[in-house]
Structure 1
């Protein structure tokens, strides 16, 4: 059975995505053995897969409300070995977990920055004076909630069940259609025939039209880009790495030609994988 690293502890939405991956990979099993390895940060989970401590890392990459997960993007660019093997999309519904009997008793709210951001309007309306404390995962603050009746955490219903804590309000996310896309990362690519592909590149020079040339490579071949996002190179202000998702497999002849031309108009080019979205 595959060993899986994920952003823990138990009860996070990333754990739910990892369990979904196991269900898809081993559909005939009724109970999954304890092969789930929680890590306190996204980067540590990714490093565990890169170093061979586990076979797979499952990490969040993009939320439909708050956009890309920067720690995952940065870690993907820095990784020399990992490839995207699959993408999993899950609906996200947040719960306010607390032992407080009413909202006015709450003084602090804990959650991952994404969790706080996805519930920001609700917090502004119902808990405008409460201190918001960012944590490395949605479940990290639940230990404080168990001990402090004035504390609350934004996490999943599953987390409340695991830690035996009451839910005061559900759902509290600002948008009902809230989805997060997770990536399954491994040291080897499983396919070149997936429905989607991802790549990243940096540019040779920061000058007018520098980004247009790589984009025209795809436009000229009628290849659809489903997502583009930038992150700083961390070398110099104004220099960026661009992450692109493409609705085509790597072994598509048209896409292969585009990759050959793309090498001539970029500084560094990384193929992150070709995969199915489930």
Structure 2
């Protein structure tokens, strides 16, 4: 997103269910592959059923299934479609801890969506590594009465202790209070990029 011209134009929340996939007997599983998010969503089930299994993080559930298919006593946490694609057996379905296990997907396009009256926006911000910088980054949103729905930080990989903050908030980029908040934020930020404005998923 840092260098791309693509914009977020919609968000979708889908219910996701995870399965334990392998080509060995359930009692023979010694290693389980999946991505970090899935391990987090299945933590209690794993602790209760495979407390001694080695949990190995990979980039995606598809990769987990691919790797597990090539090992004798390995399993993957992935969707049942991965079992069909990689020739694995479904040892157990619905291993997620919560029955309301939803994953957010973003729809990417060439432009943001127009105002719907119930919108969200996403931006990337970088601020200086100094005392009070994070407070100054967040204060314009409080001042303008804008609700932040998500904040994540990632290293910039350009300079030590420099981070990018991915922020989602309520409101469209064209609304007056968002314009005011971003104008104030611009006085303190090293970098701001608008990733898109889009209708809030119901």
The normalised TM-score by structure 1 is 0.64
What's the secondary structure of 1:267's corresponding residue?
strand
- The match for 2:57 among 134, 138, 150 is 134
- Paired residues of 1:110 and 1:152 also in contact (CA < 8 A): yes
**Aligned residue number for residue 199 of structure 1:** 123
Q: 1:135 to 1:247 in 2, by over 3 A?
A: same
**Aligned residue number for residue 85 of structure 1:** 9
User: What is the 5 A alignment of 1:1-278?
Assistant: 76=1, 78-101=2-25, 103-146=26-69, 148-163=71-86, 165-186=88-109, 188-193=110-115, 195-203=119-127, 205-278=128-201
**Aligned residue number for residue 36 of structure 1:** none
CA–CA distance in structure 1, aligned partners of residues 149 and 102 of structure 2: 16
Q: 1:249 to 1:131 in 2, by over 3 A?
A: same
Q: Normalized per residue, which structure has more strand?
A: 2
Q: 5+ residue gaps in structure 2?
A: none
- Paired residues of 2:6 and 2:108 also in contact (CA < 8 A): yes
| Cα drift, residue 162 of structure 1 | 4.3
Using CA pairs under 8 Å that are at least 6 residues apart, name the structure with larger relative contact order, 1 or 2: 2
What's the secondary structure of 1:219's corresponding residue?
helix
Q: 1:226 to 1:144 in 2, by over 3 A?
A: closer
CA–CA distance in structure 2, aligned partners of residues 145 and 261 of structure 1: 51
Q: 1:161 to 1:192 in 2, by over 3 A?
A: same
**RMSD of the TM alignment (CA)?**
2.2
CA–CA distance in structure 2, aligned partners of residues 239 and 185 of structure 1: 27
The normalised TM-score by structure 2 is 0.86
Deviation per CA, 1:111-170: give whole Å up to 9, x if none.
223223322332232122223233222122334544555221110123234445321112
Aligned length: 199
Q: 5+ residue gaps in structure 1?
A: 1-75
